[in-house]
Chains A and B, each alone.
Chain A
């Protein structure tokens, strides 16, 4: 066999493998969308779920998922940004820094159910936060921090070194250089990282079962007092999210239309995660183009 034929063969094999990956992905998403989309209606998206009757919706769960997402990002983004900037600019190159990096890597490979059980023992039981959105948000912060920190650091490192030198040579302090020069340039990458992590948070179930709980108390959407137990904004109430709801219906759902609700909820979940992913790309490209002035 000559080099040319081997090259052709290799190309064919690689194309085939890629084809398999794409096929699996498409059939999975296709199946979920085809079985789920017919069940989605305005009523389904806005009404509360039913435990025993048919015709329940996912309104509260959908709201819970978004609320939990916002809370998690509010807690984890500042921490991840600080840690990312520290690792990028201030961390000395020694064993302490290396230990931090290894710790982050280990943390990022923790199974989410372990994070959930840890959160259960520490926040729910020990800190007496109970099954609450707050417990869930803190557990998801643990789950989200390593990857977010890593991708923020990567976005900062991706800014050309020359920019950092330019800032420092102009007599900017390190902090001014990071904040004024490097951060704006890394912003598209950072935003993409945040949105992609939002997709991961939105679809997470295992870490929430033991922290945010599996019950969805009746919410009164006219009550915006965050201390009232029926208020949707109360961070101390238990909150079943969409992903947890899907898990629960499939393991112990007794409503007559359980499979239809599960299919519809799964489709909604997939659509939202896809939206996160596409908007991350769109926004990242847009800001990148604006910043680099390329047309």
Chain B
């Protein structure tokens, strides 16, 4: 049974019939819509590489059924900001030259966006708590923390 899905991704509306309603959101975004963000990391909600904002909340798209994203607004890295108008989190991470391979980036960036919005003066412990569970294999943690603290100090 195909399922009708209607959603906005990075401001663009999409309207489609999903042949397999068990398809997770990640595969809808990548395979059906042809988008490059986010990434498949584990398919188990353990790493965060697939994170997108669903109505502003960071969600792991690898386990979220696409049908659950019906009538939502999805934001990926490409929808956060642009080189001309970067999101402050993007700018802070560029300024800190954070990340190595960057494959894990979606989880950290989307979590940082929510953190900076919800808790603009978070402490070191609160920053670490917010990011806890996300994986980065290259060891980018120090520069990510520095970038977020930069934003906290600016707030």
Q: Do A and B bind each other?
A: no
Q: Could you tell me which A residues sit within 8 Å of B by CB distance?
A: none
